[in-house]
Chain A
Amino acid sequence: MSISRRVFVKSGGLALFSFGLDPLFLARAAFASYRPLPPVTARCRPVLVCLFQRGAVDGLNMIVPHGDPLYYRERPRIAVPERDVVDLDGHFGLHPRLAALQPLWHNKSLAAIPAIGSPDSTRSHFDAQDYMESGTPGAKATPDGWLNRYCQHDREHQNTPFRAVAFGPQLPRILAGSAPSLAIDDLQAFGLRAPQPAARDRLTRAFEALYAGSATGLLSTSSQEAFQAVQMLQQVNPGQYQPANGADYPRGRFGKAMLQIAQLIKADVGLQLAFADVTGWDTHVNQGSSEGQLAARLAEFGQALAAFAQDLGEKLRDVVVLTMSEFGRTVRENGNSGTDHGHATAMLVLGGPVNGGKVLGKWPGLDPANRFEGRDVAVTTDFRDLFTEILARHLGATDLAAIFPGFTPDQARFPGAIRA
């Protein structure tokens, strides 16, 4: 099934740009029941930042169940020693290289959800990532991603090209779909390049005319989004950005992505949804414990999140950062001081609106009898329970069932990540 996309035109009407049968087009009939958000006063312009830890992060070494002796028994070579764990609640603790996040825990803007994941049992990275991004575990034919479906069903912010932005060279599955979204690898370099501004503007207009008249399908919608964004970015003039409050982003792709997200939030261009990937979690060999491979990845991850929070300062009040990963890893270490593909993992929620300082969800424990298929951490929180809570309570989404087809959203199952 091809993924068809169409921009909502600036006027707010619907562009009838469909090739053959477009299932999304049919879905648009549902807009009749659309109810607008209450006026944004108390909390202005909520922002959701989704971060995907691709490769299946080892939730057990990220949020360490140091109070569970089984954790140490199953991981003689890779468990994080109790003395190194940054304790959170007496039972769980942060990996020591995530210590930069401790202040956020203390000021109650960081929550952890261990034992979260998909109801689907796949241990394939690619299927599991696909399900987490489409929001439909077990159903591969879903053409769009859940963040995009949110944009389709809640059109409050549609009049800015910067509403939904993925930071990276590719537009992820989670943002695929008929609502417009941008992929920006480098904010500074986003646009046509020419020696003089006049030449640049002329080139931009030429390509814009070229694509407006000759492009079809994805080429048409993506280019239209690009030129709108280029125009708006010129007014904003990203220029030289200096992080505030002494925030120090780690070098590398992920730190740069987080910096650019902060930059766009502060530029006030209407960013509502931001997405970035962070890779390197598939630790089959020598993953290390307090130090080593996973520790190095977590250090970069934690430093980038901490720098982001610091950089935003007051503005963190309106921002929620959600981390996700396709599944967790085996409870027991494998033959190479690493871990193989497992089931449940841990996710973090961070930001002003977060009901922080808490470990959320039900912890199934590591007893083999309670494990998934006798080997992996069982899923006690369906990832959709957390995602729907954030959409509803943070972004004010009303039509949750349409965003997660085949799923019955239930407030009673919300893990409680967002302050009421």
Chain B
Amino acid sequence: MTKTDSRTVGRSDRARRRAYLLAGLVLAFQSVSPTARLSAQLSPRDSALHALNRLAYGPRPGEVDRVAAAGVMQWIDRQLSPDKIDDAALAERERQFTILEYDADELASMYVEAQREQREQKRQQGEAPGDRDSVGGQHAAPLPQRMDPPQERGRRLAGELQELALVRATLSERQLYEVMVDFWINHFNVFLAKGADRFLTPSYIEATIRPHALGRFADLLVATAQSPAMLFYLDNWESVAPGSTPPQAMRLRARPLFGRAPSFGRPPLFDPARDPMRADSQRQRAVERMPKGINENYARELLELHTLGVDGGYTQQDVINVARIFTGWSIRRPQQGGDFEFHDWAHDYGEKVVMGVTFPAGHGRDEGVRLLKLLANHPATMHHVSRQLCQRFVNDDPPDGCVDDAVAAWKRTEGDIREVLRAVFTAPDFWAAPNFRAKIKTPLEFVVSAARALGADPDTTPRLAQVVARLGEPLYLHVAPDGYPERDAAWVNSGALLDRMNAAVALAAGRLPGVVVSIDSIVPASADPAQLIAAVNAQILGGTMSENTKAVIRRQISDSDPLQARALAIGLAIGGPEFQRQ
């Protein structure tokens, strides 16, 4: 684990790149656009558009010109210090989201209540536990005939949680920060519809991911490892040393009323008030179900996805030993708030060896933290995460040079995410002409960039989030631990494109209830087709509209009245090929 990784050592023209980097930093403090010097191909306007497409969810009306005029490096520098950016308008908006008013304890007790109602309902209907408990978006199950208030509230809050992400992405001035929150949400994926994660996910977003999104990777990693949402999602909360026995008090109430794996609302496990006979057999079942050994799920994904990467050099024995190190990392019952809790009794105190590093016998929770810190700055981790960042910000097939720059910054700063990002944004690769508009927007990026282009102001109803879900990316509902994919091939296909066209037409026509668009101030209705097309090109496509697109739109609007023509032109522009790129 102490070996250096040869892949991460820069191989070529470091000096040149360092010179570029210096140039970038120097120019960051000048108000003129530096990008003409960084890359001969991109104009100041294109540079601003590029930065707004990658570090932000696309430009709002007029923003390309503003950023170009003020200097793109200065804008990037500001985005890297979100604390210094005033975001009062968003804060005002966030106050309308009731989900932010509840703390973890309150959400936990609501969950317990909803579960009780659901069980009661099932008992009345004599229904077997089934695949009915997904939330929101395309996973939404048909509503039961009668929805009890606690469940209904659960659904509403889940919808709010999804929509809150859309509102923040659309309205926040701290755009890079919101982009990074989305990046980490996918890197450290959890699944909102899995049992207790229904109530654990809000605090996962607010207290685990958001505070560390531009902080130090090691801190973020430790925070996720200790987060109840992750401990539940990847099953570590009940991974115990073989032969360990919970305290007597635990034994009787052993199986907390957590839900189970994705989409299986289990029957009540233990409810002594109901029926003594039944309670007895349930107690027995509860004892049978008590954890009896380790669970490898978290350990494997920690190494494969969160840190080293699948080719990071670990073995099956390493996975087992990592799982042993994390035995006892658990959570309180939801009735007690569901916080992180280290169970001394469940921990394996034996010696472990992970990738050649010995963890001596006799250590408890501290050895898990030690392991996480080792993993956080392991060369394979630096390379794996840097590569993903370059994939997100530069190209689906990230150039080596950019990854090398990010790794160098990681080494220099011990994983200060802000500095790693700064290295990416000052890398020549980031500004190279072939990477301009080289990426395809994900559904989230497509919907938010369309909303921003139209100056949309979404309310707290989950309308925009539902559009994102229909396009294939229901937020917090990616079931597998790898998060939503970043590559274009995952998102571009026949059905998805038709769906994007439909969404674009609906948005442009103002047919999405709950989303107020201010088209009048962006593209005034005009009887002159040339004027209309020029406005749509400038305001919505950032000047990238092709001659063919202009010709097609002109043909389409020739016999429409000005209002219809405008809606059609905007719908075609947003649903068309140029707008899918960023």
A contact residues vs B (CB 8 Å cutoff): 1-3, 54-55, 77, 122-127, 166, 169-171, 176, 182-185, 190-194, 202-203, 206-207, 209-211, 213-220, 222-223, 225-226, 229-230, 251-253, 279-280, 282-287, 292-293, 296-297, 300, 334-338, 340-341, 373
A183 to B291, alpha carbons, bound, how many Å?
A: 42
Of the candidates B130, B289, B292, B498, the one having the most CB atoms from chain A within 10 angstroms of its own CB is: B498
Q: What are the residues of chain A within 8 A of B291 when measuring CB–CB? A: 335-336
Q: What are the residues of chain B within 8 A of A230 when measuring CB–CB? A: 498
Q: What are the residues of chain A within 8 A of B296 when measuring CB–CB? A: 284, 334, 340-341
- Given A191-B498, A219-B440, A226-B498, A210-B552 contact (CB < 8 Å): yes
Complex contact B488–A218 (CB within 8 A): yes
Q: Which single member of A124, A215, A287 contacts B310 (CB below 8 Å)?
A: A124
Complex contact B235–A338 (CB within 8 A): yes
Q: Which single member of B131, B240, B260, B300 contacts A285 (CB below 8 Å)?
A: B260
Complex contact B316–A337 (CB within 8 A): no
A145 to B296, alpha carbons, bound, how many Å?
A: 30
A2 to B440, alpha carbons, bound, how many Å?
A: 13
Nearest residue, chain A, Cβ from B298: A284
Complex contact B495–A223 (CB within 8 A): no
Complex contact B572–A210 (CB within 8 A): yes
A160 vs chain B, min Cβ distance (A):
13
Complex contact A215–B577 (CB within 8 A): yes
Q: What are the residues of chain A within 8 A of B319 when measuring CB–CB? A: 123
A125 to B553, alpha carbons, bound, how many Å?
A: 46
4 A-B pairs with least C-beta separation = A335-B293, A213-B548, A169-B472, A226-B494
Beta-carbon contacts under 8 Å, B290-321 to A: 291-297, 300, 304, 310, 316, 319
Nearest residue, chain A, Cβ from B261: A293
A202 to B141, alpha carbons, bound, how many Å?
A: 34
B421 vs chain A, min Cβ distance (A):
25
Complex contact B505–A341 (CB within 8 A): no
- Given A125-B480, A209-B552, A210-B549, A218-B492 contact (CB < 8 Å): yes
Q: Which single member of A126, A176, A340 contacts B482 (CB below 8 Å)?
A: A126
Nearest residue, chain A, Cβ from B577: A215
B contact residues vs A (CB 8 Å cutoff): 128-131, 138-139, 141-142, 235, 238-240, 242, 260-264, 266, 288-289, 291-297, 300, 304, 310, 316, 319, 396-397, 440, 471-472, 479-480, 482, 488-499, 501-502, 505, 546, 548-549, 551-553, 555-556, 568, 572, 575-578, 580-581
**Given known contacts A184-B495, A210-B553, A280-B479, what 15 new A-B pairs fall within 8 Å (CB)?**
A1-B397, A192-B505, A203-B505, A206-B572, A211-B576, A213-B551, A214-B548, A217-B488, A225-B494, A279-B479, A282-B261, A285-B295, A337-B288, A337-B292, A338-B295
B553 vs chain A, min Cβ distance (A):
8
Q: Which single member of B131, B239, B491, B556 contacts A335 (CB below 8 Å)?
A: B239
A297 to B260, alpha carbons, bound, how many Å?
A: 14
Q: What are the residues of chain B within 8 A of A194 when measuring CB–CB? A: 505
Complex contact B294–A171 (CB within 8 A): no
A209 to B550, alpha carbons, bound, how many Å?
A: 11
Q: Which single member of A193, A210, A285 contacts B502 (CB below 8 Å)?
A: A193
A216 vs chain B, min Cβ distance (A):
7
Of the candidates A54, A282, A334, the one having the most CB atoms from chain B within 10 angstroms of its own CB is: A334
